[in-house]
Chain A
């Protein structure tokens, strides 16, 4: 069973709207939690990295939150743009060495005009 579960699996929103993607994890303890954006046919690109002690991290229109007590993270996208259409992947890093990353299955977001 995957230790990082993301929801929803897919989402369609209209351009300009906000959305929130969820990530629940059972991996514990961990070093940091990351959100990546993966465009179709491309490699993932890092959006945010939060250590276990951080609660929120922003990168432009992307804001990630982390609740270590409930083992939940969310990625909020404001004022969505067509270019936000992509898969968003939640990743838990166990040891900060990069070789113990547990990847969620991703949420596929489609932004329509």
Chain B
């Protein structure tokens, strides 16, 4: 496809379970970003990848959150031992690394922790 895709679109899980969220960026985009958007709030930066490396993990809210990227393509965001406060929409974006660095966003994964 031409855009950023994310899966699943919706995920409902029980507190304490682990979840994996997937992002497929636009082909050729070297940079990939994960954000969290709580209901009615602005986007929070979580982590970004340049290629397969994550030079900035400062936004990850706790050690229950981790992310990886392989083949300079797909990325997964893993949340272990989910808590109710993890409920949010998780957005992925990708971009070329260059001037102005416009980010293209996927549709997001809506995570609900019961």
Contact surface of A with B, Cβ cutoff 8 Å? 2, 4, 32, 41-46, 49, 51, 89, 93, 96-101, 103-106
A44 to B33, CA, bound (A): 13
A32 to B99, CA, bound (A): 10
Check if A41 sits within 8 Å of B107, measured CB to CB. Answer: yes
Check if A99 sits within 8 Å of B106, measured CB to CB. Answer: no
Known A89-B43, A98-B31: A46·B102 in contact at CB below 8 Å: yes
Residue numbers in A under 8 Å from B108 (CB-CB): 41-43
Please classify the interface of chain A as helix (H, G, I), strand (E, B), loop, or mixed, using the class held by over half of its residues: loop
Check if A98 sits within 8 Å of B106, measured CB to CB. Answer: no
Closest to B33 in A: A98
Check if A49 sits within 8 Å of B48, measured CB to CB. Answer: no
Check if B107 sits within 8 Å of A96, measured CB to CB. Answer: no
Number of residues of chain B lying within 8 A (CB) of chain A: 26
Interface membership of B103, Cβ < 8 A = yes
Check if B42 sits within 8 Å of A101, measured CB to CB. Answer: no
Residue numbers in A under 8 Å from B105 (CB-CB): 43-45
Residue numbers in B under 8 Å from A89 (CB-CB): 42-43
Contact surface of B with A, Cβ cutoff 8 Å? 4, 31, 33, 40-45, 48, 55-56, 91, 93, 95, 97, 99-108
Question: What's the nearest-Cβ distance from chain A to residue B61, in Å?
Answer: 16
Check if B95 sits within 8 Å of A98, measured CB to CB. Answer: yes
A43 to B42, CA, bound (A): 12
Check if A96 sits within 8 Å of B100, measured CB to CB. Answer: yes
Check if B101 sits within 8 Å of A2, measured CB to CB. Answer: no
Residue numbers in A under 8 Å from B103 (CB-CB): 46, 98, 101
Check if B41 sits within 8 Å of A105, measured CB to CB. Answer: yes
